Structures are given as C-alpha cells and as structure tokens.
C-alpha cells in the first residue's frame, strides 16, 4: 500500500498461497477497501490446499457504528488455520468459527474475540510432519500417545494486539482428556508463558463437578475435573520449558488452584540473551578478569578537595 493514500481498493486472485509451517491455501480471492491503512471492508475466500474445505473471512463496519470493525472467520479445518498462524499446531481438523472486533492492520492489528472449535483432535509432534516447526510444544509429546486425542469442544476467548496473543480461560474437552489454558505468546519477542490444567478421563472426571454446590469446590472451576495436573509452558517459543507439578494430581480442585500459579505473563520470561552478566573486575587493558583487581602504574597522589563555602 503506497503512503499518502487515504483510501485504497484491493482485488487479489492467487492460485496458491504458502503460509507458515508449509501450510497452503488454493484459489485465494480477496476483495476489500482500506481507509487510513486499515481495512474498512474485506472478503477473503480460499480452499485448504488439495481439498474442498473452504476458508472464509469477513470484515465489515461495526453494526453498532463503533470504531472497531466486525470480524468473522470460519473453516472446517481449524488445525490448518492454527498451524498457518504458527499458533497451537497440535490441533487437527475441527469446525472452527471466530467472531470478534478488529482495528488497525499489519503491526498495528488488534483483534478481540472468541474462537470456538468442534470435533477436533490433538496429535503429537511426530504426526505433524517435518515442515511444522512453529507453534509446537516439545514437552507435550510426553503426554500424547501415538493415537490422536479427541476434543469435542474448544472455547478460547482472546485478545491480539501488537503481535501479542493473550488467552483467557481457554477450555478444551473430550471423552479422554480435558484441558484449560491461559497466558501470553508473542511471535515478535519469540516468548511464551502459558499455564493450565490437564484433566485425564475428562468425561467421567467432570461428572462429579456437576454435583450442586460441591461441584465447583471439587473441580476448581468450569472445564476442570476433580483430579488433574497443572502445567506451564514458558520460555523462548522455539524451545520452551514444559513443566508439570506432580503434587497437583493428588489435590482436589479447590486445592489444585494453589499449584496453578498466576496467569502466564511475558514480562516474567527472560531469554538467555537478555540476561545481564554479573559485574566482574576489569584488567588494566579493559578486559574482564575473574578474581583480579585493576592495577595502575605509580599512581600520583591527589590532594583532598577543599569544600567551598
């Protein structure tokens, strides 16, 4: 988009578009108008590569007349959508809808909304293929078997601003596994800090959570079972540390909250190159030395400074 253009119309037709993780879109068609560098209206349609699965995106002026635009995205393959964005790449398939509000574009893009996914599967890294490198959580392989884990529903409220994705109270449930997730991830700073709870045998485990009055005490909140283990993914996105607190597995829900800790925040993540080295003495030529003190040759005595009144 050229600078100085207040209004610009776009009409794009692309045979194949290659995105992150080797994902591709076929027959992509984009029609839209930009005002002040941000989309006023936009319609995008495409097919997941090699399939007839259609991906659609709509941006329109807000129905309430506000400054934010209405955003709507739908696809029958949420796994492809997330891998293409370099987010949680372990998801496969899934009927996906995203509804929200948006403003800005490019580095100033802001989206606040909710994504819902039905009938998806969670798979290990070995099932993703060598091209998938973004959005992969290495430690998750220890908890995912070779068989795909079925997820009936995924509900994720989120806010995306200045390259930072903030997730609040994501819940994913299936017959054999349930999980929650909250925290932050940023492709710009290449950091992640997410935490939540894994709930094994969720279908049976969560039944006790439906007991009136006692349910929320036993489970620790919606989307969590009576027994589960807390986890945290923290560090550089290329190789984050995946940690699980084994003691949380024997604590009922209301006590397990003590093990979860607070919501992950990127301010708590320090990459190796950001660590400040401890102060060390310097040698006479200006280099640092361990256990050495700088020396000077025949220092000249200095007269004490006399205070002036």
Domain with 261 in it: 173-272
Regarding whether 143 and 23 lie in a shared domain, the answer is yes
Provide the pLDDT for residue 237: 84
The radius of gyration computed from the CA coordinates of the chain, to the nearest angstrom, equals 26
Count: domains in the chain = 2
Final residue before a domain boundary, out of 162, 189, 212? 162
216 occurs within a structural domain: yes
Residue pLDDT, tens place only, 246-291: 654 444 544 444 445 578 899 999 887 766 655 555 555 545 444 4
Residue 216's pLDDT band, with cuts at 50, 70 and 90, is: very low
C-beta neighbour count of 113 within 10 angstroms: 18
Rounded CA gap, 147 and 86, in Å?
Answer: 23
Mean pLDDT of the chain: 79
Regarding whether 237 and 114 lie in a shared domain, the answer is no
Residue pLDDT, tens place only, 116-138: 999 999 998 888 888 888 888 77
Regarding whether 228 and 190 lie in a shared domain, the answer is yes
Provide the pLDDT for residue 227: 65
Task: Please indicate whether residue 34 or residue 287 has the higher confidence score (pLDDT).
Answer: 34
Residue 277 is classified by DSSP as P
Residue 173's pLDDT band, with cuts at 50, 70 and 90, is: confident
Residue 196's pLDDT band, with cuts at 50, 70 and 90, is: confident
Rounded CA gap, 256 and 219, in Å?
Answer: 9
Rounded CA gap, 226 and 262, in Å?
Answer: 20
Query: Of 212, 233, 290, which is closest to residue 87 (Cα–Cα)?
Result: 233
198 occurs within a structural domain: yes
Rounded CA gap, 211 and 53, in Å?
Answer: 41
Rounded CA gap, 85 and 89, in Å?
Answer: 9
Rounded CA gap, 229 and 227, in Å?
Answer: 7
Rounded CA gap, 40 and 130, in Å?
Answer: 38
286 occurs within a structural domain: no
1 occurs within a structural domain: no
Contact 69, 61 (CB under 8 A): yes
């Amino acid at each position: 988009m050229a600078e100085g253009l207040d209004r610009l119309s776009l009409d794009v037709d692309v045979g194949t578009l290659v995105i992150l993780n080797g994902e591709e879109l076929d027959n992509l068609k984009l029609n839209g108008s930009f005002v002040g560098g941000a989309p006023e209206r936009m319609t995008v349609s495409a097919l997941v590569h090699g399939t007839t699965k259609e991906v659609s995106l709509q941006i329109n002026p807000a129905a309430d007349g506000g400054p934010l635009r209405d955003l709507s995205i739908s696809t029958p393959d949420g796994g492809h959508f997330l891998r293409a964005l370099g987010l949680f790449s372990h998801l496969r398939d899934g009927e996906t809808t995203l509804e929200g509000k948006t403003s800005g574009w490019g580095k100033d893009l802001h989206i606040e909304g909710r994504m819902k996914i039905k009938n998806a599967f969670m798979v290990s890294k070995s099932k993703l293929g060598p091209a998938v490198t973004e959005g992969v959580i290495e430690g998750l392989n220890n908890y995912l078997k070779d068989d795909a884990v079925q997820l009936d529903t995924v509900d994720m409220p989120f806010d995306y601003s200045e390259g930072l994705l903030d997730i609040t109270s994501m819940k994913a449930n299936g017959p054999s596994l349930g999980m929650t997730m909250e925290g932050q991830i940023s492709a710009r700073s290449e950091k992640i800090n997410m935490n939540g709870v894994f709930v094994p045998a969720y279908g049976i485990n969560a039944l006790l959570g439906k007991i009136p009055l006692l349910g929320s005490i036993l489970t620790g909140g919606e989307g969590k079972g009576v027994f589960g283990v807390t986890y945290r993914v923290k560090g550089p996105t290329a190789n984050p540390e995946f940690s699980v607190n084994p003691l949380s597995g024997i604590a009922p829900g209301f006590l397990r909250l003590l093990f979860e800790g607070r919501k992950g925040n990127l301010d708590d993540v320090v990459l190796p190159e950001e660590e400040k080295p401890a102060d060390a003495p310097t040698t006479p030529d200006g280099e640092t030395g361990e256990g050495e003190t700088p020396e000077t040759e025949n220092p000249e005595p200095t007269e004490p400074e006399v205070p002036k009144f």
